[in-house]
């Protein structure tokens, strides 16, 4: 559509007194009337009411308005309402632009002059933008029902279980060799002081029992492409250094491996040494006694 074929209708809402108490609505309407491409500008007490929507529809049918700007509240509140009004008059519903002069203007200012100036700026931006809108048509696209959850802490575990319970496949990726995250290091949870392990470990077990959850420990996401509903994700599998088909998780290999690969936040305490600590103090030192005392101390 050529620019001289664009006819913009601007509609400024009083929102009772939510907007008009702080913003000079009449001045905003007069300002909009003078903007290039604007065919009609109106203000109304409640644009979202049936009478306000009928004003928009009447101008679309009788004046040939083919772009609509509504200066009102947040799009979250009434964008669908005004799209429906445009569609009801035969206009593509996506040739609409909302200028939020309530939440972003009148509700955050107490100076009427400054609030009015800001409202004019928001309306001016909406007018310039809507003139560049193109009509859109909804379409159907195939959506991949699988969900990728990154991080197998308590939040990732719970999210994966609930999605799987709803019948959808889940890929749960964790960069550490073990799931559980920070909660696995806690004794009790605040504020109820419930046992952290009592809450976490049954959920960890449930992850392994769900057929529609693919757990990928010791993996990292390295790339994401695609779009909503059809993402493509590249995941790097870290080197194991063991045959995972035979591994039982006993940990004996760690005591002999020249390149220890265990989580840095954890240590393994054996009778004569601590695996995973930066150093092993000689027997009898305070740090060594603390490591074997069972009080949760970690050798520095």
CA dihedral 271, 276, 278, 280 (to 10 degrees): 10
Q: What's the number of domains the chain is made of? A: 3
**43 & 108 share domain:** yes
In a 13 Å sphere around the CA of 45, the CA atoms on its Cβ side amount to 4
pLDDT of residue 141: 84
The reply to whether 60 falls in a domain is: yes
124 has a pLDDT exceeding 80: yes
Q: How confident is the model at residue 299 (pLDDT cuts 50, 70, 90)?
A: very low
Residue 235 and residue 214 in contact, taking contact as beta carbons nearer than 8 Å: no
26 lies in some domain: yes
Range of the domain at 40: 3-130
Calculate the CA 186 to chain-centre distance: 28
Q: What 3-state DSSP class applies to 64?
A: coil
Pair (111, 87) in one structural domain = yes
300 found inside a domain: no
Considering the domain architecture, whether residues 76 and 106 belong to the same structural domain is answered as: yes
Q: State the average pLDDT for the chain.
A: 88
For residue 88, is it within any domain?
A: yes
Most confidently modeled range among 86-95, 254-263, 289-298: 86-95
Q: What pLDDT band is residue 296 in, cutting at 50, 70 and 90?
A: very low
Q: What CATH number did the domain enclosing 117 receive?
A: 3.40.50
The tens digit of pLDDT for each residue in 128-187 reads 999 999 999 988 888 999 999 999 999 999 999 999 999 999 999 999 988 999 999 899
pLDDT higher than threshold 80 for residue 218: yes
Identify the domain boundary among 105, 130, 155: 130
Whether 188 is in a domain gets the answer yes
Q: Pairing mode, if any, of strands 219-227 and 230-237?
A: antiparallel
**pLDDT grade, residue 250 (50/70/90)?**
confident
Q: What CATH number has the domain bearing residue 173? A: 3.50.50.60
299 assigned to some structural domain: no
Is 244 within a domain?
Answer: no
Whether residue 109 sits in one domain with residue 17 = yes
Q: Is 297 among the domain residues?
A: no
């Amino acid at each position: 559509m050529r620019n001289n074929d664009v006819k913009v209708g601007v509609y400024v809402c009083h929102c009772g007194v939510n907007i008009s108490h702080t913003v000079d609505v009449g001045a905003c309407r007069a300002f909009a009337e003078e903007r290039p491409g604007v065919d009609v500008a109106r203000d109304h007490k409640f644009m979202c009411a049936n009478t306000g929507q009928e004003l928009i529809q009447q101008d679309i049918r009788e004046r040939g308005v083919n772009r609509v700007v509504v200066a009102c509240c947040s799009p979250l509140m009434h964008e669908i309402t005004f799209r429906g009004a445009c569609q009801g008059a035969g206009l593509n519903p996506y040739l609409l632009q909302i200028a939020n002069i309530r939440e972003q203007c009148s509700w955050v200012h107490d100076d009427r002059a400054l609030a009015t100036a800001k409202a004019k700026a928001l309306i001016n931006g909406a007018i310039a933008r809507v003139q560049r809108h193109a009509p859109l048509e909804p379409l159907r696209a195939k959506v991949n029902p699988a969900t990728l959850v990154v991080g197998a802490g308590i939040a990732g575990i719970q999210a994966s279980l609930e999605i799987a319970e709803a019948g959808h496949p889940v890929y749960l990726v964790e960069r550490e060799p073990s799931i559980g995250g920070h909660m696995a290091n806690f004794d009790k949870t605040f504020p109820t002081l419930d046992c952290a392990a009592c809450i976490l470990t049954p959920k960890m077990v449930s992850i392994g029992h769900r057929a529609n959850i693919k757990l990928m420990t010791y993996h990292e996401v390295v790339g994401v492409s695609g779009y909503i509903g059809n993402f493509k994700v590249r995941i790097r599998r870290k080197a194991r250094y063991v045959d995972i088909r035979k591994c039982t998780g006993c940990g004996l290999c760690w005591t002999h491996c020249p390149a220890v690969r265990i989580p840095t936040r954890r240590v393994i305490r054996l009778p004569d040494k601590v695996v995973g600590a930066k150093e092993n103090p000689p027997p009898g030192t305070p740090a060594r006694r603390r490591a074997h005392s069972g009080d949760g101390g970690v050798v520095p």
